[in-house]
């Protein structure tokens, strides 16, 4: 029996309907990813399932005893208290008692004197609360709650307001899990999380035994988690079995087929419209069945919902900057004796696309400010190049005026905007970023997260630049807009400095990566996120280490051990050292080639080809090592 069944579910806030008679089943141990364009109705569907809003028509069936919990996209602003108190809010009556119990414990621990009247009163209240908990079976729930908090690696006594955004979301996950839900609803769970937190969440959810329905545009996250993909498109829900690449290829094929069908339909409709408008002779000979069929065609065409348009992102280009954009020599900086970076040096050339990776709060934005001269290093020097025209994308969207309209945030009261030296109506320009005319006149505070990011891009790209600084640009963007932004940044001839926790986005855009590796150590690596992982892969443990001689190469096997192998295996094992040496030489040559000055100034296709070749060498080298280990183990 399914955990939940949606049958002919409909919801409309106007025309056309947001959800139009959709059907969905979710079974035990499924992890279903819900995809769709911004505004398609994904979050609305989760709210319907969670009982927060009511459907217009259809039904949602949840068998008796099945528990559903939801992790919202945003952290509520009004939450306070310790982690224990916040998590206890996820429970019912016993949860409120637990919340009071932990609050009283916290008050007592804060230093109230137990021999004073106030302290004695607190102890009496604590005793009364304990009795009430015993009557409600609250101690069993308390043990369950403490187990969840421990599993999520949290300290229940820490104040919630003192936590980072990532840890706050982890606490909210604990609050959702404490009720032991059979189905967990997650709305963009990776938003504003750093890569370390995203990887932790991936591992946790892969080990979790319940079912998931989650919304995510993090392509690596959904590829690792999803057992099935479901998409909302123009009010309809479509099931796409398989992984994300399979979904992308099948979706493209479906859209092409739909386009062909619509073309044939429109051709037939046009022919029938010509027929109905023919002269008197034609009207005398026409039959009523054909007239009714034409009316049906007209009705079907009127009800057709076209595919939502794609953003038409264009980045205006200023004149070329100097060849050297910036040079940092041995720079160091600390906040209140907490080192941000120590002895870091880099040279960024025109056309470089540099990713910056690190945990939240480690100092990535500080590094950007140091490199651009907005903040002075405490030691070392930063030298900026010439003719720099810098455009800055702020993850906190501080440059947007919440009270002004979308249009005024772009054109400041004018109807026209200058784009690439030509005047253009601001509504036409904003349509390229998927803003309908009625949306253009609304205040920024009414926009969704995805719309705000698109507006910030529209503002950013309306000015010519040759250096783009992008601080978390991918949050809340749908997959289509992400893909288009990747393409535009790859084509952009200027320099890009990119802070992002989107691993796929980094891999598709950047040519080198600056990584915060703890305690003020900041290092630079060739390539994107996966390239960094390959270059910093930790050594295998002693139990896994391949037997090597003093030269570091695989050693010879003894005659005694060789007898445990077949003749073919002994022959294969004898050839492996030479094969490994050859692969290592090829790998080194490739690294040396990529380290040459100007490598990343050549055509992007050539860069990608070399990176792919290096990845193949890395993979083959690992495979050969594993085979060596297997044969050595068999030889004893």
| Cα 478 off chain centre by | 10
Q: Which residues make up the CATH 3.40.50.300 domain(s) of the chain? A: 324-534
| For residue 555, pLDDT beyond 50 | no
At 347-375, the pLDDT tens digits run: 999 999 999 999 888 889 899 999 999 99
| Model pLDDT, residue 34 | 93
| For residue 473, pLDDT beyond 80 | yes
| Model pLDDT, residue 598 | 62
| Model pLDDT, residue 565 | 66
> pLDDT higher for 302 or 332?
332
| Model pLDDT, residue 539 | 46
Nearest 5°: the CA angle 168, 194, 33 is 85
User: 138: which strand partners?
Assistant: none
For residue 428, give both structure tokens. 């036409």
Written as one string, the DSSP assignment of 207-267 is H--SEEEEE---HHHHHHH-SEEEEEETTEEEEEES-HHHHHHHHHHHHHHHHHHHHHHHH
| For residue 92, pLDDT beyond 80 | no
At 140-180, the pLDDT tens digits run: 777 777 888 888 888 888 888 888 777 888 888 888 888 78
User: What average pLDDT does range 220-244 have in this prediction?
Assistant: 88
Question: Residues with Cβ < 8 Å from 339, sequence gap 6 or more?
Answer: 332, 333, 519, 520
For residue 601, give both structure tokens. 């100034």
* Euclidean distance between CA atoms 301 and 306, whole angstroms: 10
Cβ proximity of 73 and 169 under 8 Å: no
User: What average pLDDT does range 249-269 have in this prediction?
Assistant: 82
| Model pLDDT, residue 77 | 77
| Model pLDDT, residue 168 | 85
| Model pLDDT, residue 350 | 92
Q: How confident is the model at residue 258 (pLDDT cuts 50, 70, 90)?
A: confident
| For residue 622, pLDDT beyond 70 | yes
Written as one string, the DSSP assignment of 441-503 is TSBGGGS-HHHHHHHHHHHHTTS-BSEEEEESTTTT--HHHHHHHHHHHHH--SEEEEE---H
Q: How confident is the model at residue 91 (pLDDT cuts 50, 70, 90)?
A: confident
Residue 523 burial (CB < 10 Å; 0-12/13-18/19+)?
middle
| Model pLDDT, residue 93 | 64
Provide, for the chain, the percentages of residues in helix, strand and coil under a 3-state DSSP scheme, each rounded to the nearest 5: 45, 20, 35
pTM of the model: 0.69
Q: Which residues make up the CATH 1.10.287.380 domain(s) of the chain? A: 543-635
543-635 CATH pick, 3.30.420.80, 3.40.50.720, 1.10.287.380, 3.40.50.2300: 1.10.287.380
Q: Which range is most confident: 42-56, 264-278, 307-321? A: 42-56
For residue 602, give both structure tokens. 């050549």
| Model pLDDT, residue 343 | 93
At 484-510, the pLDDT tens digits run: 788 888 888 899 999 999 999 999 999
Omega of the bond leading into 16 within 30 degrees of 0 (cis): yes
Helix (H, G, I), strand (E, B) or coil at 84: helix
User: What average pLDDT does range 422-444 have in this prediction?
Assistant: 83
At 573-620, the pLDDT tens digits run: 777 877 887 888 887 777 777 666 566 566 656 766 776 777 777 778
Helix (H, G, I), strand (E, B) or coil at 526: strand
Return phi, psi of residue 312, to 5°.
-110, 65
| For residue 561, pLDDT beyond 50 | no
Written as one string, the DSSP assignment of 4-16 is EEEEEEEE-SSSS
Q: How confident is the model at residue 304 (pLDDT cuts 50, 70, 90)?
A: low
In b/e form, how buried is each residue of 94-122, taking b as 16+ CB within 10 angstroms? Answer: bbebbbbbbbbbbebeeeeeeeeeeeeeb
User: What average pLDDT does range 428-443 have in this prediction?
Assistant: 82
Q: What is the 3-state secondary structure (H, E, C) of 398-417?
A: CCCCCCCEHHHHHHCCCCEE
| Model pLDDT, residue 310 | 56
Q: Which residue has the tokens 């946790």?
A: 204
> pLDDT higher for 531 or 121?
531
- How far from 133 is each of 91, 97, 98, 136, 145, CA to CA, in Å? 13, 6, 7, 5, 14
User: Among 125, 95, 91, which Cα is nearest to 107's?
Assistant: 125
Q: Which residue has the tokens 């030296």?
A: 421
Range in 106-115, 196-205, 238-247, 586-595 with the lowest mean pLDDT:
106-115
| Model pLDDT, residue 49 | 93
| Model pLDDT, residue 270 | 82
* Euclidean distance between CA atoms 187 and 6, whole angstroms: 19
| Model pLDDT, residue 636 | 57
| For residue 193, pLDDT beyond 90 | no
| Model pLDDT, residue 370 | 94
* Euclidean distance between CA atoms 333 and 522, whole angstroms: 11
Cβ atoms within 10 Å, residue 139? 14
User: Among 368, 383, 359, which Cα is nearest to 333's?
Assistant: 368
What sign does the CA torsion over 280, 282, 283, 284 have? positive
| For residue 331, pLDDT beyond 90 | yes
For residue 443, give both structure tokens. 């205040």
Helix (H, G, I), strand (E, B) or coil at 111: coil
| For residue 559, pLDDT beyond 60 | no
* Euclidean distance between CA atoms 513 and 357, whole angstroms: 7
User: What average pLDDT does range 263-268 have in this prediction?
Assistant: 82
| Model pLDDT, residue 397 | 52
| Model pLDDT, residue 542 | 36
| Model pLDDT, residue 194 | 85
> pLDDT higher for 437 or 3?
3
What would the CATH number be for the domain defined by 324-534? Answer: 3.40.50.300
At 375-413, the pLDDT tens digits run: 999 999 999 999 999 988 775 555 778 888 888 888 877
Q: Average pLDDT of the chain? A: 80
Percentage above 70 pLDDT, the chain: 83
Q: How confident is the model at residue 524 (pLDDT cuts 50, 70, 90)?
A: very high
- How far from 96 is each of 78, 130, 581, 605, CA to CA, in Å? 17, 12, 65, 60
């Amino acid at each position: 029996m399914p955990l939940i069944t949606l049958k002919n579910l409909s919801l409309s806030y106007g025309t056309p309907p947001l959800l139009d008679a959709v059907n969905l089943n979710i079974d035990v141990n499924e992890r279903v990813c819900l995809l769709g364009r911004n505004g398609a109705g994904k979050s609305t569907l989760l709210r319907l399932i969670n009982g927060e809003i009511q459907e217009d028509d259809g039904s949602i069936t949840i068998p008796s005893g099945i528990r559903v919990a939801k992790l919202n996209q945003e952290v509520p602003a009004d939450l306070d208290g310790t982690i224990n108190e916040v998590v206890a809010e996820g429970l019912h009556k016993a949860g409120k008692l637990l919340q009071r119990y932990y609050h009283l414990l916290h008050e007592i621990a804060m230093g109230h004197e137990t021999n004073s009247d106030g302290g004695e009163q607190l102890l009496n209240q604590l005793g009364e609360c304990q009795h009430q908990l015993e009557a409600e079976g609250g101690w069993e729930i308390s043990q369950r709650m403490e187990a969840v908090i421990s599993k999520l690696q949290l300290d229940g006594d820490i104040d919630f307001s003192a936590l980072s955004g990532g840890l706050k979301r982890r606490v909210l996950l604990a609050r959702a899990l404490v009720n032991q839900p059979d189905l967990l609803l997650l709305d963009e769970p990776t938003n504003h999380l750093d890569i370390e937190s995203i990887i932790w969440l991936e591992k946790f959810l892969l080990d979790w035994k319940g079912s998931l329905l989650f919304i995510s545009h993090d392509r690596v996250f959904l590829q690792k988690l999803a057992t099935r993909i479901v998409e909302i498109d123009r009010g309809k829900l479509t099931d796409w079995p398989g992984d994300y690449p399979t979904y992308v290829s099948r979706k493209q094929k479906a859209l092409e087929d739909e386009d062909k069908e619509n073309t044939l339909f429109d051709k037939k409709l046009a022919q029938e419209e010509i027929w109905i408008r023919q002269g008197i002779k034609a009207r005398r000979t026409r039959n009523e069945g054909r007239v009714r069929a034409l009316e049906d065609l007209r009705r079907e065409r009127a009800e057709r919902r076209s595919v939502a348009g794609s953003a038409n992102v264009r980045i205006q280009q200023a004149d070329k900057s100097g060849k050297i954009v910036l040079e940092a020599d041995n720079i160091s900086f600390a906040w209140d004796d907490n080192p941000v970076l120590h002895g870091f040096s880099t040279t960024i050339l025109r056309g470089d696309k540099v990713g910056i990776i690190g945990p939240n709060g480690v100092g990535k934005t500080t590094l950007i400010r140091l490199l651009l001269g907005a903040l002075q290093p405490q030691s070392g020097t930063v030298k900026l190049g010439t003719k720099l025209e810098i455009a800055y994308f702020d993850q906190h969207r501080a440059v947007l005026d919440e009270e002004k309209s979308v249009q005024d945030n772009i054109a400041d009261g004018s109807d026209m905007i200058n784009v690439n030296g030509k005047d253009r109506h601001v509504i036409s320009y904003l349509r390229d970023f998927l803003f309908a005319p009625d949306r253009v006149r609304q205040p920024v505070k009414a926009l969704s997260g995805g719309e705000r990011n698109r507006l910030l891009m529209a503002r950013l790209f309306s000015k010519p630049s040759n250096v783009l600084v992008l601080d978390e640009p991918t949050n809340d963007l749908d997959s289509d807009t992400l893909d288009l932004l990747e393409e535009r940044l790859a084509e952009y001839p200027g320099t890009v400095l990119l802070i992002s926790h989107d691993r796929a986005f980094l891999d598709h855009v950047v040519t080198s990566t600056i990584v915060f590796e703890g305690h003020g150590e900041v290092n630079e690596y060739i390539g994107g996120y996966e390239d960094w992982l390959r270059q910093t892969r930790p050594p295998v443990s002693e139990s896994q280490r391949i037997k090597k001689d003093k030269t570091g190469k695989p050693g010879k096997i003894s005659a005694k051990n060789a007898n445990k192998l077949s003749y073919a295996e002994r022959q294969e094992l004898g050839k492996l050292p030479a094969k490994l040496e050859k692969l290592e030489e090829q790998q080194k040559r490739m690294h040396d080639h990529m380290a040459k000055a100007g490598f990343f100034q050549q055509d992007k296709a050539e860069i990608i080809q070399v990176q792919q070749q290096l990845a193949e060498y890395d993979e083959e080298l690992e495979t050969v090592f594993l085979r060596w280990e297997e044969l050595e183990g068999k030889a004893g």
